[in-house]
Structure 1
Amino acid sequence: MFKRIPSVFWIVLLWWTAYALIFAIQVVWMGEQQGRPISWQEALQFSFGGWMTWVPLSLALYWLVKRHPIERGRSLRSISILMASALAVVLLRAAYVYLTNPVFAWYGDQPLPGFGSVLTTAFINGFMLAWLVIGIAHAMVFYQRSHERGQKVAELETSLTRTQLEALRAQLNPHFLFNALNSVAEMVHRDAELADRMLVSLAALLRDSLSPEQDQLRPLREELALVEHYLMIEKIRLSERLQVVWDIRPDCLEVPIPALILQPLVENAIVHGIARRRSPGILRVRGRFRDDRLSLEVENSIASGNTIASGTGIGLQSTRSRLQLLYGDHACLVLERTEAGDHLVRLDIPATSAARSNASVSRESAE
């Protein structure tokens, strides 16, 4: 029930409650100093009876400020409305004092003056206070607007990033599909049974990679399963020319990584490296932690005379763009030549402490 009450109500209530308590303390202290002791009950009744009326008045002024703030293009109209509101507050305060004097004895032992005198006193004491409330209300309204504007900007940026990522995935999937179907087409004329196995693997691969409900991030183990589907197709096509060596640390398997981030690197390694060799080639896939980063490496043998790719292909371009969108400058994609002359692509992405902790727990449970 209390969650439905606006936070501004609690702010106003707490503010005037604290103010009334402080005023009551001052009344008691001044009474003692002047030799006219006042009981706490009388002081609290007098203080709360006077100041707590500002709770509904402050809320009303806040409501008016929210609808008629003083800002460029409408300042004259807003000032007029708020000026009239401040005068209305003075009038209401004067009427309240005049009508409740028999209960609270606002003027002590002195007789209640005429309403004009009460109104003058209310104007002196309340007009500037009303404008102080109006000023604070403006600060609250403008802060709330700024906060809401920041939230909307963040939501728009998130939406834009997701749209861009989906566009990059849509660009990548046809590229892979074209290469995979070419492999199946070549095999149909050579070995129908193997072609059938390739189609089964391709169906499983596409069902995973093209799912519209796929998240942008998923555990490394799921990405490796996708890569295994792809490698099964390529192993059938290349036969003994493709040898795969896995070197994935178990504590890395639960770390979230971008979906479809590893498969294009493996595909590039095969298409531009191993597939161009006449002799067997080795594809090594490694995964391990380097400080607070997950490091994934794809190393492949290359044909003699080949140089390191420039990294301008669709797969590598999409990978770099997705890393920039997801991690900014906290991730990198590096192309290197190893001492043995092989081609190496290293992907370093942030690994959160929570992900590493979960991975460690999973490994301990398995052991």
Structure 2
Amino acid sequence: MPAVFWMVIIWWAGYAIAFAAQIVRMGGPEGMPMSWPQALRFSFGSWMMWVPVTLGLYWLVRRSPIERGRILRSLAILLGASVLTVLLRGAYIYATSSVFQWFGHHPRPGFTEVLTSSLSYNFMLAWVVIGLAHALVFYQRSMERGQQIARLQAGLTTAKLEALRAQMNPHFLFNTLNSVAEMVHQDAELADRMLVSLSVLLQAGLSVDSVQFRTLSDEIELVNSYLMIEKVRLNDRLRVEWSVEAEALGVSVPALILQPLVENAVVHGISRRRAPGVLSISCELRGETLVVEVSNCVSPDGAAPHGSGIGLGSARSRLQLLYGARAAIQQCATESGRYLVRVTMPVEKHGAASLPGRSAA
């Protein structure tokens, strides 16, 4: 708004100076010659009154632009604003006639005549201002949309880098490869499945496409690849409980939004325990909202699994960019002594998705 404020002042000041130059050349009311000081006083007195009017019309256009879905309502509001502009302009000319000598040496006409003259001059000018305000508002929207897309792409890149960082973590990678080496001699099929799962994780992290959304079922398949590897590594120390509504599988969610939550729970909660731990993942629809909850047993000292905060922070930032206040991530300890992360976001459905085979592991 400050930039628009100064833009409006500079525009009308420049217009007033140009109008004053015309008065000096051609004369004022009734062709009376005017000096530059007289012309500037006359011109600024007339045109600078449009500064607050222009700012008011711009504010109205920002709140009620003429666009699909509310054309009649916006037209009615802006028509009323243009009529009010005519009234204000007429009242201003009528009240300041003795100060600026708008009518030269002629006596001031009646208010009705001044108002009629204001209607002929200022009604269309008000709509010119409204049109320019629309152009400025739509340009600002376009710029803001471009900036938001850039931020979303940066957020997606960050999420992918975080996913790749987690999978390329030497600890995770070496443990996975060591487990695969052991399983080759004991269970070749399981070793093959681990390599496939690792390949899926690395491919998701290395992918350079800019897809912002995937179905929840696709996100769950990626999480299952991660959990399959961790299940082999942690063995009986990790038990996973799924509770996913079939209707929720087709819901569109931000790409790589679920894995950071699960990874945080496993790395900073389950893996720190010697005793078996339960990781619970639930996804359900509550009206027009998708609720995803990931909970786990806390570490032996009872502390909540803070983790690095980067993955959850990135997820929170992306949700805010995509949905604003309609989405949120909450972290808390439950009454049963578990650590819970809850994500809520608006429902946006893609095509139907089949329920992938999952069971408590």
TM value normalised by structure 2: 0.58
1:138 alignment partner in structure 2:
128
1:253 to 249, 254, 259: 249
What's the offset of the Cα at 1:170?
Answer: 4.2
Residue in structure 2 matched with residue 316 of structure 1 by the alignment: 312
CA–CA distance in 2 between the matches of 1:200 and 1:336?
34
Size of the alignment, in residue pairs?
249
Conserved in 2, the CA contact under 8 Å of 1:311 and 1:317?
no
What are the residue-to-residue correspondences of 1:1-367 with 2, within 5 Å? 71-73=12-14, 76-77=17-18, 135=125, 138-139=128-129, 141-179=131-169, 180-187=172-179, 190-192=182-184, 193=188, 196-310=192-306, 313-351=309-347, 355=349
Please give the secondary structure, in 2, of the residue aligned with 1:260: coil
Q: Distance in 2 between matches of 1:132 and 1:315?
A: 57
CA distance in 1, matches of 2:160, 2:246: 31
Task: Pick closer, same or farther for the CA change 1:230–1:152 going to 2, 3 Å.
Answer: same
Q: Is the 8 A contact 2:163 2:260 kept in 1?
A: no
Match for residue 15 of structure 1?
Answer: none
Counterpart secondary structure, 2:292: strand
C-alpha deviation, 1:292, in angstroms: 3.2
**Residue 182 of structure 2: SS of its match in structure 1?**
coil
Q: Deviations over 1:174-203 (max 9, x none)?
A: 322224423324425533445554232111
Q: 1:140, 1:79 → 2: CA distance?
A: 25
**Contact kept? 1:266, 1:298, Cα under 8 Å:** yes
Give yes or no for contact 1:308–1:343 (8 Å, CA) kept in 2.
Answer: yes
Structure with greater Cα Rg = 1
| CA drift at 1:224 | 0.6
* More RCO (CA 8 Å, sep 6+): 2
CA contact (8 A) 1:70 1:78 kept: no
Alpha-carbon distance between aligned partners in 2 of 1:291 and 1:128, rounded to the nearest angstrom: 54
Residues 331, 340 of structure 2: 8 Å contact kept:
yes
Distance 2:297 2:279 in 1: 7
Secondary structure of 1:215's counterpart equals coil
Distance 2:174 2:331 in 1: 27
CA distance in 1, matches of 2:326, 2:260: 20
Equivalent-residue separation in structure 1 for 2:158 and 2:19 (angstroms): 49
Instruction: Call closer, same or farther: CA 1:311–1:184 in 2, change over 3 Å.
Output: closer
CA distance in 2, matches of 1:159, 1:178: 28
How many Å apart are 1:150 and its aligned residue?
Answer: 2.6
**Is the Cα contact below 8 Å between 2:213 and 2:254 reproduced in 1?**
yes
Per the normalisation by structure 1, the TM-score is: 0.57
- RMSD between aligned alpha carbons? 3.7
Task: Give, in whole Å, the separation in 2 of the partners of 1:293 and 1:254.
Answer: 13
**Per-residue Cα deviation, 1:292-339 (whole angstroms, up to 9, x for no partner):** 321111122334323113465222222222222222222222223334
Shift of 1:77: 4.9
Alpha-carbon offset, residue 167 of structure 1: 4.1
- Which ranges in structure 1 are unaligned for 5 or more consecutive residues? 1-68, 85-126
SS in 1 for 2:150: helix
Taking structure 1 as reference, are residues 314 and 186 closer, same or farther at Cα in structure 2, changes over 3 Å only?
farther
Distance 1:158 1:79 in 2: 44
Q: Where does residue 63 of structure 1 map in the other structure? A: none
Q: Percent identity?
A: 36
Deviation of the 1:72 alpha carbon:
4.4
Q: Distance in 2 between matches of 1:136 and 1:347?
A: 48
2-side partners of 1:79 and 1:362: how far apart?
Answer: 74
